[in-house]
Structure 1
Amino acid sequence: MQRVTMTIDDDLMAALDRYMEAGGHQNRSEAVRDLVRAGLSKQPKSDDGDRHCIGALVYLYDHETRQLSKRLTHDHHSHADLSIAALHVHVDAETCLEVSLLRGRKSEVEHFARHVIGERGVRYGQLVVAPAEAHSVDQGPEGRPRHSHSHD
C-alpha cells in the first residue's frame, strides 16, 4: 500500500467524517479509498471518447481565490469550440455557481470539465453528459446550428 498526504479544508473534512460514519467505515482511509474507487468507476470508456455529446458542467467556486476567475474565463475562451452557453450566479459573498453547456467530442468535453473542476478554488463540480449525434447541419447567423421545429 502507498501512503498519501492530503490537505482538505474543514468543511470537506466534516463531510468526509459524516460519509465515513454513515457508511460504517472504520477510518478515513477506508472512506477515501471507497470514494476514489467510485470516482474511477465513472471514468470514460476508451471506446466512446470520439462520440459527440452535449454536457452540462456545474461547478461552485470561491471567487476570492487568487486569479481563479481570470483562469476560468481564459479556459472557456480557449475552448470556445466546446461552449454553447454559460450561466453565472452569485451564491453568497464568496461563492459563485456556474453552469456551462458544452458540445463536442465526449473525450474533449470530459477533459475540459476535469480541468475546470481541478482548478484550485473550485469547491464542487459535476459533469452530466448526454449523447448527441454529429450531423451536417445548416448554420445560423452566429455559426450555431439551425433547427426546423418550432417551440410553441
Structure 2
Amino acid sequence: MSNITRFGVSLDETLLGEFDALCEKRGYPNRSEAIRDLIRKSLVEEEWQDKDTEVAATLTLIYDHHRSDLAQRITAVQHEEHHMVITTLHVHLDHNNCLEVIVLKGKVEMIRSFAERLTSTKGVVYGNLSLATMANRLR
C-alpha cells in the first residue's frame, strides 16, 4: 500500500474487547489488518449487488449418484454453460453420495442462475454457492 492514511475509531470498551478477541482468534497481527479485511469484505459484498459484476465462484453439490441419470443431468447443465465452468472436482464420498465442486467465472447474475438451476435439481441433497471477487478494485 503506497499511500497509508491513519484515522481514529471510537468504540465502546466492550465492543473493542470483543473485536480484540476476534482478532486474536483469527490470528491477525494487529487491529489494522482486521479492519482492512472487514472493509474489503464489505466492498466485495457490495460489488455482488451489481448483476453485471464479473466474479469467481465455487458451487458445491452433494448428491446420490444412484438417482436415475442425475450425474448426466448435472454434467449436461455444465456443458450448456461451459463458458462459465473453469473446472470440476468430483469425489465419491461413500457408496451412495458424491461431492462435486464446480469452479465458475462470469457475471454474478448468470452464476447465481446456474447455481439455482443445479441446486434445485431433483436428487441434489445439498448445494452451496460461494462467490469470490476478481479483486480488481482491491489492489
Instruction: Tell me the SS of whatever aligns to 1:69.
Output: helix
What CA distance in whole angstroms lies between the structure 2 residues aligned with 1:46 and 1:115? 19
Displacement over 4 Å in runs of 4+: 44-47
Per the alignment, residue 97 of structure 1 pairs with 99
User: Deviation at 1:53?
Assistant: 0.2
Equivalent residue number for residue 23 of structure 2? none
Q: Which residue of 1 aligns with 2:70?
A: 68
Determine if contact 2:47/2:53 at 8 Å carries over to the other structure. no
Aligned length: 91
Alignment partner, residue 79 of structure 1: 81
What SS does the corresponding residue of 2:75 show, helix, strand or coil?
helix
Indicate whether 1:56 and 2:52 are aligned.
no
Deviation for aligned residue 1:63: 0.7
TM-score by length of 2: 0.61
Structural RMSD (CA): 2.0
Provide the secondary structure at the position in 2 that maps to 1:56. Answer: strand
Secondary structure, in 3 states, of the residue corresponding to 2:67?
A: coil
State the 1:133 CA deviation. 6.2
Structure 2: 5+ residue runs without aligned partners?
1-45
| Largest Rg, 1 or 2 | 2
Question: Percentage identity across aligned positions?
Answer: 33
Q: Return the structure number with greater relative CO, CA threshold 8 A, min gap 6.
A: 2
Q: Work out whether residues 51 and 133 of structure 1, in 8 Å CA contact, stay in contact via their aligned partners in 2.
A: no
Counterpart selection for 1:113 from 115, 122, 126: 115
Unaligned runs of 5+ in 1: 1-43, 135-152
